[in-house]
Amino acid sequence: VLSNCGNYLSFGDTKFIPRIPRESFAAVCSVADDLRLRDDDEASLAERFEHAAEAIYSLDRSVLSLGLGDSGVSAYYGEDLTRADVDLVSAFMKSKGMEAWNTRVFKSGDNLIIRVASALRQPISLHEFEGRGIVIEHADFDAALKQVVECLENALPYAANDNQRKMVLSYIAHFNGGDIDDHKESQRHWIKDKGPVVESNLGFIETYRDPLGQRAEWEGFVAMVNKEQTRKFGVLVDSAPKLIPLLPWGKDFEKDSFRPPDFTSLEVLGFASSGIPAGINIPNYDDIRQNLGFKNVSLGNVLRAGGKSKERISFLRDADQELYRDLSNESFEVQVGLHELLGHGSGKLLEKRADGSFNFDPKIVDPTTGKPVASWYEPGETWGSVFTTIASSYEECRAEAVGLHLCTDERVLKIFGHEGQHAKDIAYVNWVSMARAGISALTFYDPEHDRWGQAHMMARFALLNVMLEAGEGLLSIEKDEAGEWVLHLDRSKIASVGAPAIAEFLRKLNVYKATANEKAGRALYAHLTSVDAKFLTLRDYVLSKRKPRHIWVQPVTDIDAKGGVVLREYPATNRGVIDSHVDRYAYLLNASW
């Protein structure tokens, strides 16, 4: 629960319940009658548990996963909301130039309510839109955000430069008032803050857990730069202008100019979110990414945390076991670097401006049709608002495909320090890793609702299918002599069969995204992420081989009586996870929620 920030998996979006019976849980809670969740709580812990027990243990079909309406539950949306209600709110917000990142939606009577996260209250505004009343309320999560603002105000005197100072001031304005434009301003200053020794970012950032892919989860991190590894990424950034033309869509669908971003390798000190990624490419705001740029971050101690297990690796042939075990970490480092910088960092959105002009030549030809482009983003539209439910996974698939496309290039591999046969092995292991991830992804498919529960895994399953559909013996999945399902990737056909298939798929992904062609993009993605009867049979086997994901134990920093910083570390045990969370977040328990 602590690791996932709730009782739904952060990587998979499905519900989990306690291993012990309800009666045993109740007995544990009743041991200390005077124990309270908060100092001013009138109810005992046992009473609190009884109030929540039914929901905690419920396995009703409607609550087994995150979703909207009958397909699941979501704290972003009230229980009585329909998809039509939410679509109406989206249309209203578009008409007002309002973005959804830090909002939630509820219903009161016939009115629809947009709650904006902010520390300060503002006058409630009532609007009429298409015959419905829409109310905008501020001060959602105000108790927590007031503490965030207080901490930022205390941090302001320690800003290392003017960019950091302006960034913190913009954070304060955003978290106080809830205006997304203030957060965008903070990210403009963050992008300009090149090469800090200590890196941080926070806000409502990633939309993976919103069923509609528009509303974001709170996220914040503090990390120290690994200077040696960062120098390697610096070479990749410097090489990017020469590598971008290798992407299969041409200059008309690429940004007008490449703005070299910071690409740093970080050692994470603290990452506050329901899941810790291996890499980040932010900010996610289309207008900033396209016009100003972004930062790339590789989280080095996250990448290294897995270690090298001696256990047999599922879905791999005997011939691939040792090579994969030896090179999977190095190949993943290559994939993450390409995924973040040249995946998320590439591509242009074709837009019509508010004054009626375009940010592209309307005469350019759509390579997927051979005709002039026929669609683009209208004023007020964003990538997320147009592609909605598939946006997050589709973009992850595009970035992953860029990694596969470029990792076979000798020039790219040399940047990462890989040459000769070793470099060829790195590329092969990267392709094997992606195919294996595509098989493992079946764990995150829900056959009852015919939907995917994790954006990255849905993306990897799509790429698995691209390899399979390429044919000519490139990839097969079959049982070995021991009755185990294994994949066989013919490395001699990666260049001749696999690479062209990935390139063509990647071209379509990027052009459909660039031209706001949601219809074609959704059809393509639906085809490649469809799970047929053969894959459902394989899914049963995959579930039998499933292993738990890592649970992260993070340190906590304190200020001692003399003003010095104290680092508190914890053992890699369940108790260590609990103690670290209590020490980090105990002050929130007494907040006035």
Tokens matching residue 343: 């995946």
In whole angstroms, give the CA distance from residue 331 to residue 337: 10
Burial of residue 463 (number of CB atoms within 10 Å: 0-12, 13-18, 19+):
buried
Tokens matching residue 326: 């030896």
Q: 322 catalytic, yes or no?
A: no
Per-residue pLDDT at 586: 79
- The catalytic position among 99, 199, 340, 518 is 340
Residue 521 has pLDDT above 90, yes or no: yes
Return the closest-CA partner of residue 244 out of 165, 343, 337. Answer: 343
pLDDT in tens, 534-551: 999 999 999 998 888 888
Tokens matching residue 228: 């040696």
pLDDT in tens, 12-62: 899 999 999 999 999 998 887 677 766 677 888 888 899 999 999 999 989
pLDDT in tens, 426-453: 999 999 999 999 999 999 999 988 999 8
pLDDT in tens, 120-135: 999 999 999 999 999 9
pTM: 0.83
Q: Which domains does the chain have, with CATH numbers?
A: 74-140 (3.30.70.2600), 143-193 (no CATH), 217-544 (no CATH), 556-589 (no CATH)
Per-residue pLDDT at 196: 92
Per-residue pLDDT at 84: 96
Specify which residues 485 forms β-bridges with: 479
In whole angstroms, give the CA distance from residue 162 to residue 193: 9
Is the Cβ–Cβ distance between 473 and 493 less than 8 Å? Answer: yes
Return the closest-CA partner of residue 178 out of 134, 201, 148. Answer: 148
pLDDT, greater one: 303 or 524: 524
Return the closest-CA partner of residue 183 out of 157, 209, 212, 145. Answer: 145
C-alpha to C-alpha distances, 312 to 118, 476, 486, nearest whole angstrom = 49, 20, 12
